[in-house]
Structure 1
């Protein structure tokens, strides 16, 4: 074993399990303690100020500046009481991570003293440099001004000794430069469209919120081993490494006993998350070795996404305290499962009704059918845009490689609901409304669908799971705001079209319920091709999907074309989510990030191969050559050292292949770098530069099997995957 690997493993094995003591034995005692939530607002604010912020959260009303001063003073008082010294606007730029700039509450006074000050203006708005974040050309270097503006619907929280205020981020000219602005717009459009449709059934419904529960998968690796792998450190994934003899094939890790060190980490991480109001509920081992999952209780979607972004930060910070590194890359290790971020989405009314949960009465079932079928129709109509929203260089390893889920967007319903929709599609509508409102000839009323009445399909990108849809295709490192913006937007657009179609029939004299059913029946038929109950990994499904007219776009640069299609242009224009300039900017930002990440991986491959891998292989080859010379000098026959000669030859073959292909890869990279069209540059990186990655890896992994273990410089999969 090489000195680097030996020292790294020695460091790992010398560690003990840290003792973790939660703030209290009862989670309810400390949940949300570091959040300026409604309970604390009531305590610190006047009745007028409290009602102002509640109206802003629930009705979207602007907060007057005089009330903002009161709220700022209350926030400051609470934060100082918790030991805070600074405040920051916490936002989500298009880097995919979060951003913050800390300012002290401290201000000097004229008499040489100091006070703690925090104004309503400082709460409401700040000015970070917009030119230094991805803007897709919206902001130039000499046009630095951008604004962060307070989002009252997501409560402020305390991180260490800093008051963090969730905000949106826009350019000086008003364009969105973050993930939150379009999400909030989409949620507003959805709310109005859903309420309008709800009024067919219940005039008392005044608001519809999208609900989201995000399951977060991740890997843990010992920090010492992580630091000894430059590829893992710089790219988030292993670019080389032969698969371990034992990996996940026995499926013994899944839901198994949680290792002691990991359990201590989970306790610590969960305690920090719960203090921040992140309602973590579930933890368990995932399928692959050293892969785990945590999941919260459902929340309003804007808050759920903020909490997930915050959670990823908490996970990483706490992991370092436990000498771990959290790997959120979608595919950190070849040959075993990657990680996703399953987004469980539903619609909840202000009266507490889940619109995707059937009831026991025909009226409630008709309401359920309306939102259920419209969601299916929305995904069918805009499957390409939904596919684009989950695209990234990391996620391509999952979506294009027959891993959960595939690149083909399809919807799984389960046999019971699938049969119901088939029956509705083929049945005759009674023109005469019966007293019990059962309008379908030959169809019994839809039974209440309980969660365990619907099977689960791990291969489906978009599956109905009892009272919600689960978008399984989101990558583990992604900001869920992107796919959730698209999902809420396309459902809102479809609901508006549904209302238009229904109202049109009512104006022609059809009864309301009959009009609803007629449109539902048409939508079921029109969207049928996207429903698929089988194995999404199979070759047969790829052929069947093609025959159905479903797209199978396996790589990001081409998937992103959907962002600029004519259909998408109309969708964005009619809903006001993105201006053409904003849509083009985001398209450019995503392409830019795609090719740059591949560029980094290509550079790391070149450096590791030339500076680490080949020297190690040659060093071992030289030892074998000296051995052969010694045996030959003793007068032994060539049969005696035939094995050594064979290994020497194989090492030369692998080294020559690797060096030649790295040189060719570098040449392709240089060619791609000078392509002016960003889309074509990204495609060339994907199809030409990346095409060398796997062949080079294959031969490096063969060398790993040949070279003396004491000389191999990189920690191996068997060391990385199994936590000591």
Structure 2
């Protein structure tokens, strides 16, 4: 089947799509967390002493005795077997942004040759995958391959079902034989511990006596595209790179602003409800779903959970999203910019910190100027973003996210903090050495008697800010849709811990001088704002004026590409930050730079090779055939004495020749392999390879608008975005 026949066949199959049979949606009460071995289930199955020990570990991070692990393992096995489970797996999160699993059976054979089920505490606690076969940044070599997974009792085990079997999944950390973190979970747990320790110091100085364990929380809004699998299978770029490397903009895209929050297509709605039923069975609190801005784009957002569990759930959500979409005849695209010219996808990470006794410490209440704990914690965030903005930019750096940052749907690559009018005025007053009452939002009155009046928020939203305060949390809006939330959470927890330690030291010095508590807080925050207030910005983050002001007047960094941002993981200040907080050792931090740098280079090399292959084997043949058809037609008409305008043929020939020349340039460019450093290699990819890929695409996309539709081999944007 030729490329175009494949495309036409795909359109036919989509047009005649038969809805798959799905079970009727059950009530939330009937399915909620039915496949989760959570505290509620453990309370039913464990002795009181064992349950109390596990609950203490979950709530405070206290160590769990091996004997208790044996009891938990027995109960977990009994529960799993009662649900038809035959296998178990330590599920872990290597430095790949996806999950990893090693499945084992609940089976041993005895001396009689009979099979018995076994699952001990030792099997629960430890597994042993190969540590050298995952990205590790030279922490493990082939001749030193041992790695361990270890059960994380603070994240509940769960069951994953397939049509003919089920597996008990045990969330785990992943480390080398020498003890270095090879995953994303260990640094996240360490960062939360560092934040908890620093926060306790500040709260103790503020006179708090009953201080429960502090946790960061996360709610990540996940954006994604759905493309019919028939189209995706006809696009090598979607299959191998996750985005379209070619494609002319359709006549109609998102310019009518009619897709956002519009009626959800029925086929998509069925997928969403099936997907969310699976999430509910796993105890994942999916809260909202809707159409996003671009055609074919959607969003799902969960309710807030503790950061560790939220990160595990986010990884699981991405896995389930892809598998469920495939079952419904879709490919789920999590790439940050799968289609040029329309909005890409992000993952807005809503983040706050708090505990059971002091509550949400990023909730200002109705009088934020009087809420001293809030002012200190909010000030700590401001300082952290200013001092370590390069770190925040580095943890969201990827080849795919570079396409999105700074575009109309995403914040710029300059890290700034948006507070809203109310809080910006409060902190400006503090900087000026005064404090007045906070402005209020006022009542919203539309003058319509049938519409109830309500209190509006004291500040507007700013969609151009990468790090925005949104009422009782900060929203890190620059995170990419395909990325794990663990990296951003680690960075945010760690910079908060560092700033709280700084605040504790300054506050203690003020209090030791006999300064009253409120005056001491304002004195510390005044100094903080004088040094770090330049990062606060409430205007248009897209404007050229801001970019100029941010860099030239405020001293902020503009790091537009991963090649610019990622080397800051080697910055001495960031190395000291992670060492001081015991979140990442220097060798662990270096390993992450090596892994992410390699992933960046490999991603661009794969895309470049795909551009060359598709241009040569798909686009060039269709353009050549069209030129041949035009030539034959023109010659035939000329024999009849009819002159034909040859401008189209000349245009197609010119674009074809230009594309072939650009392909040759790109082929020569990717043949280079010798570089002085990995930084130089990344810069070469950003500055040389990417522009040449765009050059090939420019001519190929021009050909798409010229070559006869019946000859074009690739599914077009208008088909992929609008045919569901």
Q: CA contact under 8 A between 2:369 and 2:437: conserved in structure 1?
A: no
Give the equivalent residue in structure 2 for 1:120: 121
Counterpart of 1:290 (choices 290, 293, 296) is 296
Structure 1 residues 215 and 22: alpha-carbon distance in aligned structure 2, compared to 1, 3 A threshold? farther
Whether the aligned pair in 1 keeps the contact of 2:85 and 2:167 (CA below 8 Å) is yes
Moved more, 120-129 or 533-542: 533-542
Give yes or no for contact 2:34–2:282 (8 Å, CA) kept in 1. yes
How far has the Cα of 1:2 moved from its partner? 2.0
User: Is this contact kept in 2: 1:413–1:531, CA < 8 A?
Assistant: yes
Summarize the Cα distance change of 1:9–1:361 in structure 2 as closer, same or farther, 3 Å threshold. Answer: closer
Q: Which moved more, 1:368-377 or 1:520-529?
A: 520-529
Equivalent residue number for residue 18 of structure 2: 16
Segment drifting more, 519-528 vs 446-455: 446-455
Moved more, 673-682 or 142-151: 673-682
1:58 has 2:63 as partner:
no
Q: CA deviation at 1:586?
A: 0.6
Aligned to 2:79: 78
**What is the distance in 2 between the residues matched to 1:224 and 1:398?**
26
Which residue does 1:516 correspond to in 2? 521
Give the one of 568, 575, 582 matched to 1:569.
Answer: 575
Q: Structure 1 CA distance, aligned partners of 2:34 and 2:200? A: 34
RMSD: 1.6
Residues 404-452 of structure 1 deviation map (CA, whole Å, 9 limit, x = unaligned): 1110111111112111211222234xxxxxxxxxxx4xx2367699883
Alignment partner of 1:641 is 2:647? no
1:519-534 to structure 2, matched below 5 A, reads: 519-534=524-539
Are residues 451 and 216 of structure 1, via their aligned partners in 2, closer, same or farther at CA, if it must alter by over 3 Å?
farther
Structure 1 residue runs without a partner (length 5+): 429-439
- The answer to whether 1:426 aligns with 2:432 is yes
Return 457-466 or 686-695, whichever deviates more: 686-695
Identify the residue that residue 707 of structure 2 maps to in structure 1. Answer: 707
Structure 2 distance, partners of 1:451, 1:332, is 36
Residue equivalent to 2:606: 600
Distance 1:448 1:573, change over 3 A: farther
Distance 2:482 2:366 in 1: 40
| Alignment partner of 1:410 is 2:416 | yes
Could you tell me how far apart the structure 2 residues matched to 1:659 and 1:23 are?
Answer: 53
Alignment coverage as a number of residue pairs: 704
Bigger mean CA offset, 196-205 vs 135-144: 196-205
Distance in 2 (alpha carbons) for counterparts of 1:556 and 1:64: 44
Q: Which residue of 2 aligns with 1:185?
A: 190
CA distance in 2, matches of 1:677, 1:520: 42
Matched residues in 2 for 1:694 and 1:357: separation?
45
Written as runs of structure 1 = structure 2, the 5 A alignment for 1:299-310 is: 299-310=305-316
Cα deviation digits, residues 44-86 of structure 1 (max 9, x gap): 1111221121121122222221111111111111111111110
The verdict on how the C-alpha distance between 1:303 and 1:680 changes in structure 2, with shifts beyond 3 A counting, is same
Pairing 1:261-300 to 2, within 5 Å after superposition? 261-300=267-306
CA shift, 1:675, in A, is 2.2
Deviation at 1:112, TM superposition (A): 1.6
1:246-265 to structure 2, matched below 5 A, reads 246-265=252-271
1: CA distance between counterparts of 2:489 and 2:723?
Answer: 35
Aligned to 2:208: 202
Change (3 A) 1:690 1:445: closer
1:154 alignment partner, SS class:
coil
Distance in 1 (alpha carbons) for counterparts of 2:15 and 2:368: 63
- Which has the larger displacement, 292-301 or 507-516? 507-516
Q: Is the 8 A contact 1:359 1:447 kept in 2?
A: no
**1:353 aligned onto 2:359:** yes
Alignment correspondent of 1:229: 235
8 Å Cα contact 2:218-2:351 kept in structure 1: yes
Shift of 1:402: 5.1
8 Å Cα contact 1:191/1:209 also seen in 2: yes
Cα deviation code 1:245-266 (max 9, x no counterpart): 1110001000000000000000
Q: Given the superposition, is the C-alpha separation of residues 454 and 445 from structure 1 closer, same or farther in structure 2, using an over 3 Å criterion?
A: closer
Query: Which has the larger displacement, 262-271 or 114-123?
Result: 114-123
Gap change, CA 1:611 and 1:646, over 3 Å in 2:
same
Cα pair 2:192 2:493 within 8 Å, conserved:
yes
Q: How does 1:528-547 map to 2 (within 5 A)?
A: 528-546=533-551, 547=553
SS where residue 265 of structure 1 aligns?
helix
1:69-113 Cα offsets, whole Å, 9 max, x none, are: 111111111111111110000000011110001001122121121
Q: Deviations over 1:583-619 (max 9, x none)?
A: 1111011110000000000000010011110001001
- Asked whether the equivalents of residues 362 and 446 of structure 1 are also in contact (C-alpha less than 8 Å), the reply is no
- In structure 1, how many angstroms separate the alpha carbons of the residues matched to 2:633 and 2:286? 59
1:461 matched residue in structure 2: 466
- SS of alignment partner, residue 360 of structure 2: coil
1:434 aligns with none
Distance 1:362 1:259 in 2: 43
The CA distance in 1 between the partners of 2:467 and 2:351, in whole Å, is 10
Question: How far off is 1:351 after superposition?
Answer: 1.6
**Secondary structure of 1:554's aligned partner:** coil
8 Å CA contact 1:408, 1:553 repeated in 2: yes
Q: CA distance change for structure 1 residues 607 and 63 in 2, over 3 Å: closer, same or farther?
A: same
Q: Structure 2: 5+ residue runs without aligned partners?
A: 443-454
Give secondary structure in 1 for the equivalent of 2:36.
coil
Which of 568, 576, 584 does residue 578 from structure 1 map onto?
584
Structure 1 distance, partners of 2:213, 2:108, is 43
Counterpart of 2:224?
A: 218
Which residue among 556, 560, 564 is the counterpart of 2:562? Answer: 556
- Name which of 499, 506, 511 aligns with 1:494: 499
Distance 1:201 1:218 in 2: 46
Question: Equivalent residues in 2 for 1:666-685 (5 A)?
Answer: 666-671=667-672, 673-675=673-675, 677-685=677-685
Partners of 2:676 and 2:114 in 1: CA distance: 57
